Amino acid sequence: MAYTEESLKTELENQEYEYGFTIDIESDRAPNGLSEEIIRFISAKKDEPNWLLEYRLNAFNIWKKMEEPKWAHVKYKKPDFQDICYYAAPKPKKELASLDEVDPEILRTMERLGISVNEQKKLTGVAMDFVIDSVSVSNSFKEKLGELGIIFCSFGDAVKEHPELVKKYLGTVVPTADNFYATLNSAVFTDGSFCYIPKGVRCPMELSTYFRINEAGTGQFERTLLIADEGSYVSYLEGCTAPSRDENQLHAAVVELIALDDAEIKYSTVQNWYPGDKEGKGGVFNFVTKRGICEKNAKISWTQVETGSAVTWKYPSCILKGDNSIGEFYSVAVTNNNQQADTGTKMIHIGKNTKSTIISKGVSAGHSHNSYRGLVKIGKGASNARNFSQCDSLLMTDTSGAHTYPYIECENSTAQLEHEATTSKIGEDQLFYCKQRGISEEKAISLIVNGYAKEVLNKLPMEFAVEAQKLLEISLENSVG
């Protein structure tokens, strides 16, 4: 490789940094704070190629000039970006080869949710990747998938083993300068998952990533890149948990989906980051950018069950670029106590005959606020585009709030748009009826809420649907007032 003057300069800078830096490079944790040095540290730690370091530094320079957006219907104390640790590897230093070596507490958490990993592996053939704090610790079924040419690995491995794919697609759906938190992620992301499905391959199993923030005071900035080549199909699951901590933790992920011609991606999330305690202390700030692009006849379907986080701020979106492409968004967002959620989707119709469906179900309990915010945009060339949106809100208490902000921008007169919305309060009559039949209040609430969210829960793969139902039950304990 020929050195350009630029890269040589960077390399020299790198070296200087390596020696000049006061902390032990072998350390598992970067010092708190964000600076060019920290970014170089992360990049060096991950043994990254120069182009990726450049990508990060460019993002960091853009980010420094950006301001945190304020339009969301959420209130929170702005994170101190100099008081966050941007890289933390899990405590066990050796690379984990199997799930047996994963922290038993993590396994217990997952078992509480009804997902025994081992069992799942055996019974359902879910290939799982774990990202704990910043590092991906295990990935099962890699070989089996490899036979089909499917790549499913940690982002870090992908950079090393498939740099051409990463380089080609990284930042193509969510550009570096996209928004404050996405740009921050582009500068400091530490790991995440990478997936590539070759032409015409139907992925035979659910691919799954489990994210967890473990270390105190760390942020999690994972990056997920999923490419479905022409005519392929994949169903991808993402689960998230974090232990209870008093301080707020920041989670700012970026997920990019690329569905090439005739491909289909089904992306399901069950998000259960720590929501903070009853008084609203602690909890994860979940500021995530998720977006997918559909080429001709492609389809992307987002399904999310959001029960965790102190503040959730995310809009999984679809850019329907190709003719006849389809975008779907199914969401259940539950907020309790002092949680706040501002979530929804954007459907950007560019191609002809593009179709999108939005089903959003909000449930607000305690003193929480739950907002749906969505944009349906029909471009000039999107002839015969169609959208159907349905936004329902269910209030559990008099002190909770539900808000809906549906935006529609239409530049093509042949488009058809439908929007339906309802707001209801959980009925005393319904609860009494259930109780009279011998169903306790908690079970009754869970039945009623699950019934209300059924349309969305039905879209989840079986093993996740069970987990999601339990989560709804747990997060709504003692919630009627």
Partner 1 sequence: MSNTIIKIKNLSASIEGKEILKGVNLEVKAGEVHAIMGPNGSGKSTLSSVLAGRDEYEITGGSVEFLGKDLLEYDPEERAWLGLFLAFQYPVEIAGVSNMNFLKTALHEKSKYLNEDPISAKDFLKRVKEKAALVELDDKLKNRSVNEGFSGGEKKRNEIFQMAMLEPILAILDETDSGLDIDALKVVSNGVNTLKNKDNAIIVITHYQRLLDYITPDFVHVLADGKIVKTGDKNLALELEEKGYDWV
List of residues contacting partner 1 (CB under 8 A): 427, 429-430, 432-441, 443, 447-448, 450-455
Residues near 92 by beta carbon (within 8 Å), at least 6 away in sequence: 101, 103
Residue 7 CA: distances (Å) to CA of 58, 131, 310: 14, 31, 42
Residues near 381 by beta carbon (within 8 Å), at least 6 away in sequence: 350, 351, 352, 412
Q: In degrees rounded to 5, what are phi and psi of residue 212?
A: -150, 135
Q: Is 335 helix (H, G, I), strand (E, B) or coil?
A: strand
Q: Which two tokens stand for residue 337?
A: 């106590």
DSSP 449: H
121 or 425: whose CB is closer to partner 1? 425
- Closest approach of Cβ 447 to partner 1, in Å? 5
Q: Which two tokens stand for residue 59?
A: 């993002």
- Closest approach of Cβ 441 to partner 1, in Å? 8
DSSP 222: -
- Closest approach of Cβ 445 to partner 1, in Å? 11
Q: Which two tokens stand for residue 197?
A: 């499905």
Q: Degrees (nearest 5) of the Cα angle 299, 300, 301? A: 120
DSSP 477: T
Nearest Cα to Cα of residue 187 among 316, 337, 80, 37: 37
DSSP string, 29-43: BPPSS-SHHHHHHHH
73 or 454: whose CB is closer to partner 1? 454
Helical axes 180-188 vs 36-45, angle rounded to 10°: 50
195 or 453: whose CB is closer to partner 1? 453
15 or 440: whose CB is closer to partner 1? 440
Would you say 126 and 120 are in contact if contact means Cβ atoms under 8 Å apart?
yes
| Alpha carbon distance 221, 134 (integer Å) | 7
Q: In sequence order, what are the beta bridge partners of 362?
A: 333, 393
Distance of CA 87 to the CA centre of its chain: 19
61 or 440: whose CB is closer to partner 1? 440
* One-letter amino acid for residue 80 of the chain: D
Q: Which two tokens stand for residue 54?
A: 């450049």
230 or 455: whose CB is closer to partner 1? 455
